[in-house]
């Protein structure tokens, strides 16, 4: 039996009627047409589908949309404000923290939370903080540099 949910996505609250088994990532991509959130492994390993649910990073392939009822969701599309990209997005551009780009939205969402919790992380803390996000290009070096750069720029 479909269930009605109210979810605030990137600042806009909407009411939708969804199948209980609809995943949060499907809800964002297919109902909201927000395709910046990617589906990688679909088994909660790779982190490509990472979004913020009530301010905390989560793998949206492992949450049902009904669990987000009454919550706020932020996707990579919601990070920029007034046409200005988020400092972490700017840092990934500046330090070339991406190769093919598939893991990038998830990497950025995890990095944003990492810097909110720890504004001045060591390299080890960055590597540990993003260990739930896999980059199949193995472009970790520049991703770590980008997170460091974002932290430095925010000082």
Partner 1 sequence: MVTMTSAPFEYEKPESVAEASRLLSKYGGNGKLLAGGHSLVPLMKLRLASPDALIDLSGINDLKGIKSTANGLSIGSMTTYHELESSSDVQSGAPLLADAASQVADTQVRNFGTIGGAVSHSDPASDLPPVVLALDATMVTGSQRSGREIPADRFFKDFLTTALRPNEVLVRIDIPKLPANTGTAYVKMANKASHYALVGVAAVITLGAGGVCERARVALTGAGPHAVRARRAERILEGKVLAGNVIRNASKRVGAELDGMFNEDVHASAEYREAMTQVYAERAITAAVANAG
Positions that interact with partner 1 (CB under 8 A): 1, 3, 19-21, 23, 25-26, 29, 39, 42-45, 47, 50, 53, 56-59, 61-64, 66-67, 110, 113-114, 129-133
CB of 138 to partner 1, least distance (A): 14
State in angstroms the smallest separation of the CB of 84 from partner 1: 26
Tell me how far CA of residue 5 lies from CA of 30, 93, 95, 121, in angstroms: 15, 36, 40, 37
Closer residue to partner 1 in complex, CB, 87/132:
132
CB 11 to partner 1: min, Å: 21
d(CA 13, CA 3): 16
Compute the least distance from the CB of residue 86 to partner 1, in Å.
Answer: 18
Nearer to partner 1 by Cβ, of 43 and 81: the residue is: 43
- Per-residue DSSP letter, 28: I
Minimum CB distance to partner 1 smaller for 107 or for 146: 107
Query: From CA 78, how far away is CA 70, in angstroms rounded?
Result: 18
Token digits of residue 43: 């088994």
CA 21 to CA 61: how far, in whole Å?
A: 11
Nearest to partner 1 of 12, 43 (CB atom): 43
Residue 31: which residues within 8 A CB-CB, separation 6 or more?
A: 16, 18, 22, 65
Which is nearer to partner 1, 29 or 95 (by Cβ)? 29
């Amino acid at each position: 039996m479909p269930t009605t949910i109210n979810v605030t996505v990137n600042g806009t609250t909407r009411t939708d009627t969804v199948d209980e088994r609809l995943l949060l990532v499907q809800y964002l991509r297919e109902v909201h047409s927000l395709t910046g959130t990617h589906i990688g492994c679909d088994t909660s390993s790779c982190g490509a589908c990472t979004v913020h649910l009530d301010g905390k990073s989560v793998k949206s392939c492992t949450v049902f949309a009904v669990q987000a009822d009454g919550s706020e969701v932020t996707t990579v599309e919601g990070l920029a404000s007034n046409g200005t990209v988020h400092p972490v997005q700017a840092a990934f551009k500046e330090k070339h923290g991406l190769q093919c780009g598939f893991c990038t939205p998830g990497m950025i969402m995890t990095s944003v939370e990492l810097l909110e919790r720890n504004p001045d992380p060591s390299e080890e803390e960055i590597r540990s903080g993003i260990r739930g996000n896999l980059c199949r290009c193995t472009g970790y070096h520049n991703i770590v540099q980008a997170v460091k750069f974002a932290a430095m720029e925010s000082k």
